[in-house]
Structure 1
């Protein structure tokens, strides 16, 4: 059984979606860099181990990442899932977990990497928006996309309503991708990423138009 660790900084709604999905893998632990993160309470209610590793207690990013890395090793983790984890990871940490760490980003990557994606979509006048689950690499939001949730931007949408609608899609596609990894339907191989035994040429799409 694949052992999963979830890294969080906030409320943990995506963590809750993963808990509720009854994954084939085991969520072995949850790490937060913020003591007030409600995600810690969600994990504790579900009987999941938690670790508070506050980045402010470390002299630099590398030292903080080393502490997280050691905790992941202590839990014997196979897969790291970023769920609202608001820290840029060091190249050393990313390299150590390459092919074993995924993130969800609120845009249809490669469009709108970084922050404020919903307002940027509105400013540009795009008709489609969504979210992308991708492998984490040293380059921000640039790892191979595994799946995307796609929705139509409505005329009355603002940044808040669009964010809420995208969140609904996140809670669908993130548990599905993690489950695919747990069951081996998605595999990170030396030649790239396979999906159900074939090279993944484009992200699997879920549409809510």
Structure 2
């Protein structure tokens, strides 16, 4: 079967885990407790407290149906190609590094700007790392935008998206979205790709 119609194991399992966790938080009586212990909390908060494991668990929590849908759709769209090219083990390492790195950048900016306390949930930082990797490894691949519906080369899409996220994070526009986490996921992804390239682990 053509790879386009297949979903490799890590991408498939990440989607399954995210969906199951979202269903648990939305439908089970212990949903609020899952969020309390597994979301990433930083600073004094009456709702939850910080634990180091939350740098991982926060990536599997989502705030709404729209939140998880768009993250999982992007994971499926870009992650399949990347997992086939990087290999499942390296792909998972890349995904987790981008997710943890995104949280570190968001917490650092929140601390420096005094925007405390904060709660962080979602796979967006890790997914933005995937978008960055796709743009770096397939710069001339054409991505069809949804709004507006125009084609754009992946390299320009990544640059424009990154600039917009940086602008929104810097100006404070965009509500409760963790824009610096998105930028952080892209930054850590770029650093890891360049390190692998220098070591001859991957080529692009």
The TM-score bracket by the shorter chain reads under 0.3
Normalised TM-score (structure 1)? 0.25
Normalised TM-score (structure 2)? 0.25
The structure with the greater share of residues assigned to helix is: 2
